[in-house]
Structure 1
């Protein structure tokens, strides 16, 4: 009796139709190779094909059409060979690989870590990753697509490689991980794509990839497959970074909005021009307003749609790497603003990603931000936390970024932030603290510091929340630094006053020292302070042109000598007269005025003084590094204080916010010896009046303000003077000298 010929592995008609429509949750169960009945059945979906053949090393095997573009072929034996599909359309034949012959690219361990919210290199698993596989018929190169969409009924990839028709690239569900996966042979770097998601409501939605590493240039919204070929040249910087504690060193930050520093520049243009500029001025770091992709330029980057993609407005992600690399090779660190607090509601991005509230919290009292019209992340969901924590790691590791400044931390910490009674719900203990957001911030900070030693996590936090920079082991949030918004607000409010009225507001300029060491602070004069009608620093200063420029120079000298690190937004280093607008370049023409060039020189010299004077930064975060010499000279609008560091010369700072000089003012000093004027913001070279203390100043054994040593000095108007001891003091806790002793 003759044995019956093998037949294709059977599949019911309804399943075939669902697969043909790209609406089946597991197309790999039908398409691709399947062993049965002593043969290998290969099914392929090729709509509109006239003929389909399966080509192996042993020959070609014709396929028969079954239904709606599904073709089936039988291959002899029970071993699945390497094969290709030869397909004829309207007399034109093409040969290609089959997406459905490959095993899952997301392994079980990866799926477990995603479920647990513990995959610290999530971008290597989800998103679009170019891969190659060996084969008998040659190496296969393509892109592994994977996306988390646990409530989807079906997911498919659409792109320019399939004419934005996704049925032939339907993805398979990887069970309770919520991940959908497909390896697409032939799809290479540069391909544009989106995920097309079938929700439980029966509607298809095209969504940008949450973990896309590249995007189209806005307003286009597709994701782009990216493969980095960048070779870094900052090995020395990275090795040194891992060994140092940046919080204890000098930090002066130049904050930059890339699109308006000088309009029209690419990442590579900026790599040369910005690096040269920041290096010339002596800043230790640049801080970039969010570079993650965002649909609306007017948001300045603070409404992010693609958290893993540097904005394509200025070039390829490798071009951004080049910018960071150039800054590092010049000895300049890079901080990037990071926005995990909220995201926009654009329907093609994260919002309602799989047809449900997935990344956002489903409760509108927790999931919507009333001020910004945005969604708030569901910080309590493991996969969402993982998405954000891994994103922080991604910027620090993949782009060698040296720090993240976390935006709008206060909005995350408080359940009632910007909400009226009845618009928020207390936590499980009846309080207003957002316990899930707190836990997320602690995890993000702890993970970042553990994985990438030598970086900085910086909080923009505007309230008196305790322990922002305390370690997580002590129940703190675990940040390394916090923006001192109180110092900024008090200082700028004080300086708006006419000098004659400042005596009545003296407490505003001294109050910062009450809490200066409660956290590890950065003193910011940021983009938020020179926009939306607030005016530039120049505009805030009272008086005529000369007085305004003098006021800016005095403010910056005060900022650089006050305990804490410094941050200055672009344009203020030359006292730009108009407030910032993101739609135009800085007013570089101001540098045609020698007085504005003088402000630049003042900043350049201030940074040089700062770097070479450990007293101005070594003990920023402890009272041991600061003493008042004169804090109550309200009628003179004058401050005097000491900055000091172990085994380093002491610095004495005198700041005069009055519009007149103080001749022969007796300055109390922390110890005897000789002092020299290391910096004077009123120097003629800066456009000042040239009132100063030339040569050396010798301390006299004359008691003043409780100090045993003092000297008469000239204090210039609207200016700051820094005196530095010629040698470290033997005893900086000087008392009253013996009146019988000779000096």
Structure 2
């Protein structure tokens, strides 16, 4: 904050003393010094008095403070406890600076208490109404020029606090010198600190209404320290985006009518040790080579435990610091966009951890969490739930969703744990919850929040998709909000995931008793707009990696794995696959070391076991993207027809997919380890010949190579095929 080198400041002359200042009211003085005063600007700074202008500064640990006016220096008298004051015989408040002398140095600084509020009435009105859709521009730490002086505006919402002060490395984490002022009924506290710029570490020192004093990280911090350090960091973005083409075109086709194939990534462990910028050199090319349309990033918002998956967020507006700065994260997203890959991020508005330096009881009282203990505690995760009924909390979350889309060009938000938000009795026993106003178990405030979030994001960020991880039969998750739905674009199909994994994990001899687990999904496939997820949740905590769920020897496990992926890519709905499963990693995922990339090394095995599965995923995506029948009518029942859905004894499934022009694709899955000869499949009469578009049994994938190199022609309205074992085959009409 030193301004000694500022050429706009006049060189001060020798010291002279000011007149004696009238003493502060003892009550005001006590509240100011204890950090419990709502309006320190009324006591500090320059103010008219009968004898002229009184100057008062609070500078703990200073040996002297002088006021400098027109190059003339006048020393203020010490009033004790770091207060210095004096009167100059002036008619009006002049332009002035303070010269603050410490034990070994002197600093000439602008006085923070001579500035008007740096937050406007429009911002405050929108905050009070809970309608500030760019809340991050009003709250937090904002570097700016205010009244001709550069510095940083600090603002924080803490309506229950007696007082709030700014503490940082520039105060040795002691907040005494910089109390903030309350901006009335908004609950917002504000202080402009001249000379404070980017890179400065800070926190808010809050005095609760009970007299307790504690340091809190900024809820709106856009950059944080690397854990275990917890301070917030002043930041601005200087990044110049290069993805204009991508952003302009991403909303051209509705997502449910477009190819959408997602590679789920945990950034810290995908290639352990790489930063955002280093990941930008390798992740886009890898994903593009495999043909995925999107990546989904497990939570990137700042979380306190670096070894975790990221679902306990403390910095909702800050990308995790361990991989780089916010602009470094922008660089990664930009690189993915320039490679033609969309970016979805996991967003966690369902709960937050209880760390005492973060959101929990932020101003000494429940603030972001409900005051009712029955609703505040999340019973499964030892965390707090958000108070969705409070306008400012809802605004905090809605603006956060918009923030990631607007500031970081995120293309989609996958909303975590939606079911835990929607039900008041989620994981709660009788007596641990209270019904809503209508006597039901639905959380009406959470519903309203999700509707507002979705409507706001879709209005402000064209082309963005929101995706619900919702595990119940709640109706209308992907129905528009104006018809009573929650307004999501897509929903994870947890039923399909559970049933199909259950089926595929059985020995083939037993699968006939579970045949309906593979067909039941078509009973509700068009009730919502679905994503078929094989996510990180399915390959941890003893659930085994996807290939290890499969029965049989190693060859059969890989064949099952390949056949299952072929079935999944052909089934109505978009698809998501977690990293490592694209090359049949046998071990469960560990966030400590990530995928077992060494399995792809030819030195490990000359056989195409793992590399063959990866090649299959690449080809699945390639054929998928060029075949509209597989994605264009995902939400249209007319785009699907069973050919064989009841062959339980054979473990065979066959169905047709149609694009908007009526062009078909025939998908056949044989989940039996035996070859089925002369298998009859009824097909449309208007297709004279079919050719193989993909066969998971091909030798290059590690299969037995029972393929269809020549066109297959129907006889009497049916195809007679030899079905390869544990394989999925895609057939399409012969070109021309």
More moved, 542-551 vs 516-525: 542-551
Q: Report the counterpart of residue 426 of structure 1 in structure 2.
A: 435
Shift of 1:337: 0.3
- The answer (yes or no) to whether the contact 1:211–1:308 under 8 Å persists in 2 is yes
Q: Report the counterpart of residue 405 of structure 1 in structure 2.
A: 414
1:698 counterpart SS class: coil
- The answer (yes or no) to whether the contact 1:49–1:88 under 8 Å persists in 2 is yes
Shift of 1:10: 5.9
- The answer (yes or no) to whether the contact 1:28–1:100 under 8 Å persists in 2 is yes
Distance 1:640 1:7, change over 3 A: same
Question: In the TM superposition, what whole-angstrom CA distance separates every residue of 1:44-96 from its partner, at most 9, and x where no partner exists?
Answer: 11223233222233533332223322222434544433322111223532211
Q: Which residue of the other structure, out of 708, 711, 727, is the alignment partner of 1:693?
A: 708
Question: In the TM superposition, what whole-angstrom CA distance separates every residue of 1:362-389 from its partner, at most 9, and x where no partner exists?
Answer: 1111111111111111000000000000
2:220 counterpart SS class: coil
Distance 1:617 1:505, change over 3 A: same
* Distance (Å, rounded) in 2 between the aligned partners of 1:69 and 1:714: 90
Distance 1:68 1:518, change over 3 A: same
Q: Which residue of the other structure, out of 264, 271, 281, is the alignment partner of 1:272?
A: 281
1:616 aligns with 2:625: no
* Distance (Å, rounded) in 2 between the aligned partners of 1:182 and 1:670: 73
* Distance (Å, rounded) in 1 between the aligned partners of 2:727 and 2:661: 28
* Distance (Å, rounded) in 1 between the aligned partners of 2:672 and 2:93: 87
Q: Which residue of the other structure, out of 692, 696, 700, is the alignment partner of 1:677?
A: 692
More moved, 5-14 vs 460-469: 5-14
Shift of 1:133: 3.2
Shift of 1:116: 1.0
Q: Which residue of the other structure, out of 65, 81, 96, is the alignment partner of 2:78?
A: 65
Q: Report the counterpart of residue 310 of structure 1 in structure 2.
A: 319
* Distance (Å, rounded) in 2 between the aligned partners of 1:17 and 1:419: 47
* Distance (Å, rounded) in 2 between the aligned partners of 1:344 and 1:631: 47
* Distance (Å, rounded) in 2 between the aligned partners of 1:263 and 1:551: 30
- The answer (yes or no) to whether the contact 1:456–1:480 under 8 Å persists in 2 is yes
2:515 counterpart SS class: helix
* Distance (Å, rounded) in 1 between the aligned partners of 2:30 and 2:441: 53
- The answer (yes or no) to whether the contact 1:649–1:726 under 8 Å persists in 2 is no
- The answer (yes or no) to whether the contact 1:9–1:37 under 8 Å persists in 2 is no
* Aligned 1:449-488 pairs, distance under 5 A: 449-488=458-497
* Distance (Å, rounded) in 2 between the aligned partners of 1:413 and 1:431: 11
Q: Report the counterpart of residue 731 of structure 1 in structure 2.
A: none
1:143 aligns with 2:152: yes
Distance 1:38 1:236, change over 3 A: farther
1:105 aligns with 2:114: no
Q: Report the counterpart of residue 599 of structure 1 in structure 2.
A: 613
- The answer (yes or no) to whether the contact 1:53–1:73 under 8 Å persists in 2 is no
1:368 aligns with 2:377: yes
Q: Report the counterpart of residue 5 of structure 2 in structure 1.
A: none
* Distance (Å, rounded) in 1 between the aligned partners of 2:190 and 2:453: 27
* Distance (Å, rounded) in 2 between the aligned partners of 1:55 and 1:677: 86
Q: How many residues align?
A: 713
- The answer (yes or no) to whether the contact 2:60–2:176 under 8 Å persists in 1 is no
Q: Which residue of the other structure, out of 45, 57, 62, is the alignment partner of 2:58?
A: 45
1:26 aligns with 2:34: no
- The answer (yes or no) to whether the contact 1:522–1:565 under 8 Å persists in 2 is yes
* Distance (Å, rounded) in 2 between the aligned partners of 1:208 and 1:412: 25
* Aligned 1:519-534 pairs, distance under 5 A: 519-534=528-543
Q: Which residue of the other structure, out of 98, 115, 126, is the alignment partner of 2:139?
A: 126
1:662 aligns with 2:676: yes
* Distance (Å, rounded) in 2 between the aligned partners of 1:252 and 1:564: 10
Q: Report the counterpart of residue 651 of structure 1 in structure 2.
A: 665
- The answer (yes or no) to whether the contact 1:190–1:224 under 8 Å persists in 2 is yes
Q: Report the counterpart of residue 581 of structure 1 in structure 2.
A: 590
* Distance (Å, rounded) in 2 between the aligned partners of 1:16 and 1:569: 60
* Distance (Å, rounded) in 2 between the aligned partners of 1:658 and 1:82: 87
RMSD over aligned Cα, in angstroms? 1.6
- The answer (yes or no) to whether the contact 1:16–1:67 under 8 Å persists in 2 is no
1:329 aligns with 2:310: no
* Distance (Å, rounded) in 2 between the aligned partners of 1:574 and 1:490: 23
Shift of 1:582: 0.9
1:428 counterpart SS class: coil
Shift of 1:169: 1.1
* Distance (Å, rounded) in 2 between the aligned partners of 1:473 and 1:267: 39
Q: Report the counterpart of residue 4 of structure 2 in structure 1.
A: none
Q: Which residue of the other structure, out of 165, 175, 183, is the alignment partner of 2:192?
A: 183
* Distance (Å, rounded) in 2 between the aligned partners of 1:219 and 1:715: 57
* Aligned 1:325-364 pairs, distance under 5 A: 325-364=334-373
- The answer (yes or no) to whether the contact 1:9–1:34 under 8 Å persists in 2 is no
Q: Report the counterpart of residue 167 of structure 1 in structure 2.
A: 176
Q: Report the counterpart of residue 224 of structure 2 in structure 1.
A: 215
- The answer (yes or no) to whether the contact 2:19–2:88 under 8 Å persists in 1 is no
User: Normalised by the size of structure 1, how large is the TM-score?
Assistant: 0.94
Shift of 1:9: 6.4
* Distance (Å, rounded) in 2 between the aligned partners of 1:121 and 1:390: 6
- The answer (yes or no) to whether the contact 1:210–1:350 under 8 Å persists in 2 is yes
1:113 counterpart SS class: helix
Question: In the TM superposition, what whole-angstrom CA distance separates every residue of 1:633-686 from its partner, at most 9, and x where no partner exists?
Answer: 111100000011122631110011111121221221123322110000111111
Q: Report the counterpart of residue 718 of structure 1 in structure 2.
A: 726
- The answer (yes or no) to whether the contact 2:545–2:586 under 8 Å persists in 1 is yes
2:68 counterpart SS class: strand
Q: Report the counterpart of residue 153 of structure 1 in structure 2.
A: 162
Distance 1:583 1:91, change over 3 A: closer
Distance 1:14 1:134, change over 3 A: closer
Q: Which residue of the other structure, out of 101, 104, 109, is the alignment partner of 1:96?
A: 109
Shift of 1:242: 4.2
* Distance (Å, rounded) in 1 between the aligned partners of 2:146 and 2:117: 13
- The answer (yes or no) to whether the contact 1:36–1:78 under 8 Å persists in 2 is no
User: Normalised by the size of structure 2, how large is the TM-score?
Assistant: 0.95
1:13 aligns with 2:22: no
Q: Report the counterpart of residue 558 of structure 2 in structure 1.
A: 549
* Distance (Å, rounded) in 2 between the aligned partners of 1:525 and 1:40: 71
* Distance (Å, rounded) in 2 between the aligned partners of 1:554 and 1:414: 37
Shift of 1:688: 0.7
Shift of 1:226: 1.4
1:40 counterpart SS class: strand
2:609 counterpart SS class: helix
Q: Which residue of the other structure, out of 81, 87, 101, is the alignment partner of 1:74?
A: 87
